[in-house]
Amino acid sequence: MHPDQEKTKAMSDTNSSKALLLTLAASAVLGGMLVIVSIQRSPDMATDSESLVALEATAEYGERLIRETTRYMGQHQPDPAKRLSGNDLDCSSCHLVSGSDPGTLSLLETASRYPRFSGRDGGDRDLRDRINGCMQRSMNGVELDRNSIEMIAMETYILGLGRDYSLMSEDKKQADEPPTFAEPDRKADLVAGQQVYENRCQVCHGANGEGLQESTDISEGYVFPPLWGPESYNNGAGMGRVLTAANFIKARMPLGQADLSDDEAFDVSAYINSKPRPEKSNLEEDYPELFRKPVDSPYPPYADPFPQEQHQYGPFSPIREYYRSQNNGQPG
Ligand code: HEC
Ligand code: HEC
């Protein structure tokens, strides 16, 4: 993604005086978005909030929020009103290259998928709701105001990705990834998973899954993001499900050298998710229709007699078989 291209696009969507202001701001010494953010921070400018929203909620700002979430809206922000995310991850820790890379957890095709039904929420949800899903779980943070600058900026960016995707050539759309993860039909092995972790992951993500900070200034974020502990995703996040994690890890990790076998990806995912992490409240309200709950949801309640441990680590085929025999439809 080329930010300049995005900015041009965003500008063409605004009226010309706003575009002129944006150009002026962008050409200032500090660089466009820092200036625009500081315009919003300046109290005497905050008279016409609607035009400020239009001015700031650009795709470029959205891309920055997704790439450097910690820096722009992390918990170490000097401005308490901007402490929106609750851990030290960036959206791009999982949505690689700000979601502009084709493949697992890419955001290129996201725009076309919403609104859609969410089993977790029990109703139709739009893109803003979905972003808030990751805000409250993957980022262990707060629900953004649907009309906030941050929300609209990220949505604008993701909508722009969708337009880019529709213009991409077929070979550019191809993900450069190993074959999709195929689930082993067994319980995950935490001891084997720890071995994979120590041999292949620890060098970047740290002996205690704590990651590696960019500098001693914590507000700068991380070079290698944390995998567990207080600064990681919470137990209600998609990455907390062993199959979702294994799918991502097989496709993307170790970064730049994704070559794990299905067994290794499965075991190391279970190992990571066996470690302590922030706990989300009200998880029992997820999936109002319990039969829609994914088999690997690690938190109860369940509409089946299998123990929590089997939902966390497998094997999953007996659980799927149970739902099939109940004629309840398949769990999501
Ligand atoms: C810890 C990893 C992680 C982080 C960090 C993360 N996400 Fe996600 N995100 C996921 C996973 C996993 C899914 C798919 C969820 C599933 O399979 O249920 C997802 C799904 C999404 C989707 C829906 C994609 C689609 O095509 O349906 C959007 C939009 C999204 N995330 C936006 C964000 C934004 C914005 C942030 C930062 C504020 C963020 N995510 C941070 C893991 C993450
Ligand atoms: C060469 C360094 C490196 C190695 C080795 C590596 N990772 Fe990562 N990993 C990263 C980086 C960097 C990111 C964030 C992606 C980005 O910022 O582009 C990441 C992101 C992740 C994420 C999503 C974000 C989060 O913090 O939850 C998971 C999960 C993950 N890695 C698991 C693993 C596992 C499991 C292994 C070992 C099989 C591994 N990684 C090996 C560098 C590495």
Q: What is the pLDDT of residues 195-224, one digit of tens each?
A: 999 999 999 999 999 999 988 888 888 999
Q: What is the pLDDT of residue 271?
A: 98
Q: Is the CB of 95 under 6 A from ligand 1?
A: yes
Q: Is the CB of 156 under 6 A from ligand 1?
A: no
Determine the distance separating the centroid of ligand 2 and the alpha carbon of 223, expressed in angstroms. 10
What pairing do the DSSP bridges indicate for beta strands 123-125 and 222-224?
Answer: unpaired
3-class secondary-structure state, position 163: helix
In the predicted structure, residue 142 carries a pLDDT above the cut 60: yes
Report the C-alpha gap between 134 and 180 in whole angstroms.
23
Determine the distance separating the centroid of ligand 2 and the alpha carbon of 112, expressed in angstroms. 28
Determine the distance separating the centroid of ligand 2 and the alpha carbon of 252, expressed in angstroms. 8
Q: Look up tokens 């829609």; give the residue.
A: 292
Q: What is the pTM of this model?
A: 0.86
Q: Is the CB of 114 under 6 A from ligand 1?
A: no
Taking alpha carbons only, the member of 211, 186, 182, 216 closest to residue 272 is 211
Q: What percent of the chain has pLDDT over 90?
A: 77
* Contact (CB, 8 A) for 85 and 139: yes
- Output helix, strand, coil percentages for the chain, rounded to the nearest 5: 50, 5, 45
Taking alpha carbons only, the member of 252, 247, 271 closest to residue 199 is 271
Top mutation candidate among 139, 203, 204, 271 for ligand 2, by most atoms within 8 Å of CB = 204
Instruction: Provide the strand spans (E) within the chain.
Output: 116-118, 123-125, 212-213, 222-224
Report the C-alpha gap between 330 and 186 in whole angstroms.
20
CB-count burial class (<10 Å; 0-12, 13-18, 19+) for 85? buried
Determine the distance separating the centroid of ligand 1 and the alpha carbon of 91, expressed in angstroms. 7
Least confident stretch, 4-8, 84-88, 131-135, 179-183: 4-8
In the chain the domains, ranked by start, together with CATH numbers, are 3-173 (1.10.760.10), 180-332 (1.10.760.10)
